[in-house]
Amino acid sequence: MTPPAKSASPFDYVVFGGTGDLARRKLLPALYHRCCDGQIAEGSRIIGVSRRKLSSEAYRTMTREALRDFIPVAEYDQDAADRFVKMLSYVAVDVSGDSGWDKLKKMLPSDDGRTRAFYLAVGPGLFGEICGRLGRHGLATPATRVVIEKPLGRDLKSANEVNATVGAVFSEDQVFRIDHYLGKETVQNLMVLRFGNVLYEPLWNSSRIDHVQITVAETLGAESRGSYYDSSGALRDMVQNHMLQLLCLVAMEPPDSYDANAIRDEKLKVLNALRPIGEDDVETLTVRGQYRAGAANGGAVSGYLEDTSLEQSNTETFVAVKAEIANWRWAGVPFYLRTGKRLPARFSEIVIAFKQIPHSIFPKNAGAIHGNRLVIRVQPDEGVKQWIMIKDPGSGSMRLRHVPLDMSFAEEFQVRHPDAYERLLLDVIRGDQTLFMRRDEVEAAWRWIDPIRDAWETSGMAPKPYISGSWGPSAAIALIERDGRAWHGE
Ligand code: NAP
């Protein structure tokens, strides 16, 4: 079953879990923005589905509240909100049973050519039930797409199971696996920087690049996600998806076109070339941490065990990994990844650290020459900074300075930065899978992650404690300093 070509015609978006946190915080505001931008054709329908009994009118009221709660005041327009909520309706279905589906079917026109998207904003345990019933109740037309969210499994075996249950009803080109990082403006810009300019690509290899750093830092703790988080941990929650996707975009070979499968083929090659980390080197190449009480977000905060009301936990809230890509382009270039909760700042950033110049012609007292760095800020303050050496301005003697050429997109273009979901939700309707993960990518990522987890277990490598508000365990600093390098900005 192949979805029809891209079209701006009216469509139907069915959001399972339409009353949940993800729907209220992200999906409904994103669709509202697209509606304001004139991207949702008249006659389109957005249908919320969950178990609770609500009228469509009550769902519209709930949505208005969500828009007011989660959209900045300056972006909220009463008239636009009125237009938007008119597209909404609601149906109560417990997806674990067979009642209610007929009502949903009646709400959808039987026209097979009309694009229909089912967004599964529910726990992954329900994906199989929903897809099976969509099939059995005749709701999966050839023009149907299904959108699934992380977590896509907790290891290779369970990811295979999720993919198989969805794949039993939908063909691969109907399945859209969201990693919202790929919808971020700067992440897409990374591809344009690399492949839309002649400047970087000749330097983009082990002869000019010393190393790469990818940091995803959060200031929040596990808090409300406690029980989910404790069964996951930072490696599964962040590294397997977001961070490996960023690594792929940095490291992939140029695809022959901006085509979904051309790009995903290249990303897959990177994942397959990641050097496995196992029992022999897990202690030298990875660091696990778990936060303790400390100071963060402007006040005193408790530790992970208190936050999750657990007596004991072996779950990491911080992880750092020194990864290597075993291919011609990247041999010998370490990719240092780190992510954690309760760190001193919230940001996601990629740092491309170029090698030092081979020889300095400047006098010693001119100051140190730093390697060039390209810093790609994924969030917040999306933008790119190219750090270069310049002469300190003025008539004094020669003094060198390391300064950033700042390309802050928001300031430069004076545009609102759309949330990643805005882009991705409409890509689903357009049938554009470029920014979605293919099944083999997800599985290849687990194939690299699983041996790390296994090695932690067999070697008994417990998370090291770190104080909230610090940059993780000191071992994470040692991981990079052992190689004569330092984390950017520290
Ligand atoms: P949530 O707030 O708990 O919402 C779950 C939704 O599913 C509710 O609307 C719930 O409504 C509905 N639901 C649960 N069981 C159902 C059933 N048997 N039949 C029909 N509807 C059912 O969870 P969430 O935070 O929105 O997350 C949803 C999924 O997205 C999870 O897998 C999560 O890991 C993933 N995710 C969430 C975020 C986020 O920012 N929240 C980000 C990335 C991924 P009723 O109780 O009324 O049925």
Question: Which of 134, 149, 164 is the last residue in one of the domains?
Answer: 149
Question: How would you label 217-241 residue by residue, b for 16+ Cβ within 10 Å and e otherwise?
Answer: bbbebbeebeeebbebbbbbbbbbb
Taking CA atoms only, the protein residue closest to ligand 1 atom 6 is 17
Taking the C-alpha atoms of residue 373 and residue 395, their distance in angstroms, rounded to an integer, is: 27
**Alpha carbon 487 to chain centroid, angstroms:** 21
Contacts of 369 (CB under 8 A, 6+ apart): 356, 357, 360, 362, 389, 400
Taking CA atoms only, the protein residue closest to ligand 1 atom 42 is 22
CA of 463 to the centre of ligand 1 (A): 29
Taking the C-alpha atoms of residue 295 and residue 298, their distance in angstroms, rounded to an integer, is: 7
Q: Is 132 among the domain residues?
A: yes
Residue 1's pLDDT is 46
CA of 17 to the centre of ligand 1 (A): 5
Taking CA atoms only, the protein residue closest to ligand 1 atom 1 is 20
Do residues 140 and 237 both lie within one domain? no
Taking the C-alpha atoms of residue 13 and residue 311, their distance in angstroms, rounded to an integer, is: 43
Do residues 121 and 188 both lie within one domain? no
- The Cβ-side half-sphere exposure at 218, using a 13 Å CA radius, reads 14
The two tokens of residue 235 are 């490696």
Q: Is 35 among the domain residues?
A: yes
Residue 60's pLDDT is 97
Residue 409's pLDDT is 67
Name the nearest CA neighbour of 45 among 142, 103, 114, 132.
114
Do residues 133 and 212 both lie within one domain? no
How would you write the pLDDT of the chain (490 residues) with one tens digit per residue? 444 434 468 999 999 999 999 999 999 999 999 999 999 999 999 999 999 999 999 999 999 999 999 999 988 999 999 999 999 999 999 999 999 999 999 999 776 689 999 999 998 889 999 999 999 999 998 999 999 998 889 999 999 999 999 999 999 999 999 999 999 988 888 999 999 999 999 999 999 999 999 999 999 999 867 678 999 999 999 999 999 999 999 999 999 999 999 999 999 999 999 999 999 999 999 999 999 999 877 789 999 999 999 999 999 999 999 999 999 999 999 999 999 999 999 999 999 999 999 999 999 999 999 999 999 999 888 889 999 999 998 878 899 999 999 877 666 666 677 889 999 999 999 999 999 999 999 999 999 999 999 999 999 999 999 999 999 999 999 999 999 999 998 6
CA of 358 to the centre of ligand 1 (A): 55
Q: Is 418 among the domain residues?
A: yes
CA of 71 to the centre of ligand 1 (A): 20
Do residues 193 and 139 both lie within one domain? no
Residue 490's pLDDT is 60
Taking the C-alpha atoms of residue 365 and residue 205, their distance in angstroms, rounded to an integer, is: 32
Q: Is 117 among the domain residues?
A: yes
Do residues 83 and 224 both lie within one domain? no
Probe target for ligand 1 pocket from 14, 16, 51, with the most ligand atoms within 8 Å of CB: 51
Taking CA atoms only, the protein residue closest to ligand 1 atom 5 is 20
Question: Which of 104, 124, 149 is the last residue in one of the domains?
Answer: 149
Residue 381's pLDDT is 82
Do residues 79 and 200 both lie within one domain? no
Protein residues whose CB sits closer than 6 Å to any atom of ligand 1: 17-22, 25, 50-52, 93-96, 121-124, 126, 149-151
> Which atom, in ligand 1's list, is nearest to the CA of 129?
18
**211 has catalytic annotation:** no
CA of 121 to the centre of ligand 1 (A): 5
Probe target for ligand 1 pocket from 26, 27, 50, 133, with the most ligand atoms within 8 Å of CB: 50
Q: Which helix (H) or strand (E) holds 62?
A: helix 56-70
Question: Which of 149, 173, 204 is the last residue in one of the domains?
Answer: 149
CA of 97 to the centre of ligand 1 (A): 17
Do residues 417 and 294 both lie within one domain? yes
Residue 356's pLDDT is 96
Residue 226's pLDDT is 67
Do residues 188 and 311 both lie within one domain? yes
- Find the angle CA(125)-CA(127)-CA(133) to the nearest 5 degrees: 120
Do residues 120 and 208 both lie within one domain? no
Taking the C-alpha atoms of residue 208 and residue 200, their distance in angstroms, rounded to an integer, is: 10
Do residues 114 and 190 both lie within one domain? no
Do residues 234 and 309 both lie within one domain? yes
Name the nearest CA neighbour of 355 among 376, 333, 338.
333
Residue 395's pLDDT is 74
Q: Is 281 among the domain residues?
A: yes
CATH number, domain of 75, equals: 3.40.50.720
Q: Is 335 among the domain residues?
A: yes
**Alpha carbon 364 to chain centroid, angstroms:** 44
Residue 414's pLDDT is 66
Count structural domains, the chain: 2
Structural domain boundaries, residue 333: 182-422+437-481
Q: Is 88 among the domain residues?
A: yes
CATH number, domain of 443, equals: 3.30.360.10
Q: What is the pTM of this model?
A: 0.93
Taking the C-alpha atoms of residue 13 and residue 117, their distance in angstroms, rounded to an integer, is: 5
Do residues 201 and 109 both lie within one domain? no
Catalytic, out of 33, 180, 211, 242 = 242
Q: Is 195 among the domain residues?
A: yes
